[in-house]
Structure 1
Amino acid sequence: MQPSSAVRRSSLRQQLADAIRDEILAGRLPAGGRFTVKEIAEHYGVSATPVREALVDLSAQGLLDVEHHRGFQVRTITWGEYRGMVEARSLVTEGVFRNIVARGMQGMPDDTALASVRRRGAAASAAARGGELDVLIGCDLRFWRELTVLIRNRPICDFLDRLRTQIWMYSVPHLRRRPDLGEVCWQDHTALADAVCGRDLETIQRLVGDYNDHAITVMARITGNSGRPGPAPGDGPEAGDGDGCETGDGDGDGDGAGTGD
């Protein structure tokens, strides 16, 4: 491989982690793929130390598995794991918005900050309608990250961001095989952003619930897996052939762009 110019020399550790994560989400580093620190360092034309640090960070985020004396492997996420991630995301986000309801939206930022969330939502909705998967992934992750930042709780923001990224990891290979992305992907980012800007708590809760329900319902329908709680029969890489689209057709969830909250 020729050295890549995509990574600048400043903040190499974080830039490398971001670049490798993007490769995983784009499917260019597929689940089960193996590589070494040396291979990544040569690809980006950098030294081994920041690469090793970046890969350790991605392992801590649940994106890579460390193989003793063999390097790193892109994590393979099963259907059961995917479903558990979506359910965890649902529980946390519902709790977040219940707290906002209890506070009566006190402490929410001003209209300028909320307008930025709405712009992110409009971009994600447009990418979903157009079936532009690569654009959608980035827009969805940024939208939910910016929306979640509004609660001003960094540990929750980081936890949900990791879940969204892992959900997208699982979804992308299945979504790339579909010709109808504009129909199966959740598209209500703009509606949710409008509800947040309008302090419409009832609509916020309904749309967030729809978003999370959609991830399970659509993926189960596409893959033939059970969407019900409990262990998934035959759980394994082949059983989790779902499509956790982060955008939706109205039944409420898809992670992604967003995996991504």
Structure 2
Amino acid sequence: MLGSGLSNQVGASVGALAFPVIGPAGVVAVRQWVAAVLLYAVGRPRFGRFTGAQWRPVLGLALVFAAMNLSLYTAIDRIGLGLAVTLEFLGPLAVALGGSRRRLDAVCALAAAGAVAVLVRPRPSTDYLGIGLGLLAAVCWASYILLNRTVARRVPGLQGSAAAAVVSAAAYVPIGALVLWRNPPTGAALLCALTAGVLSSAVPFLADLLALRRVPAQFFGVFMSVNPVFAALVGWAVLDQRLDPLAWSAILVIVGTNALAVITSSARRPR
């Protein structure tokens, strides 16, 4: 789990190094292609056997998958890795708290809202478009979680996720081709984009599969909370993106509220 989280954030930071040459859209296109190759090899989707009821959530998942990565990487380009990933993390936090009537979850939601207000507080350097893109990535991640549940019920094995990745990658072919034609990549930029695809798609996917065979899903959900912290640390170490103490405090509040919500929800659930 430690390797999965670090790999994901290091991959995003390495991909950011290619932004000046091919932009976020070019990096995302390469990442989508790498993810499609990996998931197709693992899931082996049988497209010809999908019914209409199976195709609908798969296509929705493909659309969300594409929008989530593009909005996140564009947000990283504008507001930095730590802040962008923290805002994106509000998506799974909202899913964890959504529909709950417990007072503790209401307190967690209020604490997270206060932390977000600190992160996006108006300053001369505030990039509102970047913040909006980070929040869009959060909406996409929440939708991704909910759609994945539907896909898992309707499509056997990993075929649904693999099919969504392939469709998303296919949609990025004209986008990626246009971006790379208008901004010819250097060897270093292409290597960074490919590395981002491997470290942010292939390694976390395989590592998470191995981890979920060995640890309870509850513990896995709690451990996911550290991703914003990893993102802030990696952004500082690789991209020299520094956060002020207030931003660090807000990130830790969001991480803590998610961990608390997951732990208490699982503890109250009947065995």
Higher relative contact order (CA 8 A, sep 6+): 2
Do they superpose with TM above 0.5? no
Query: What TM-score range do you get, normalising by the shorter chain?
Result: under 0.3
Higher helix share: 2
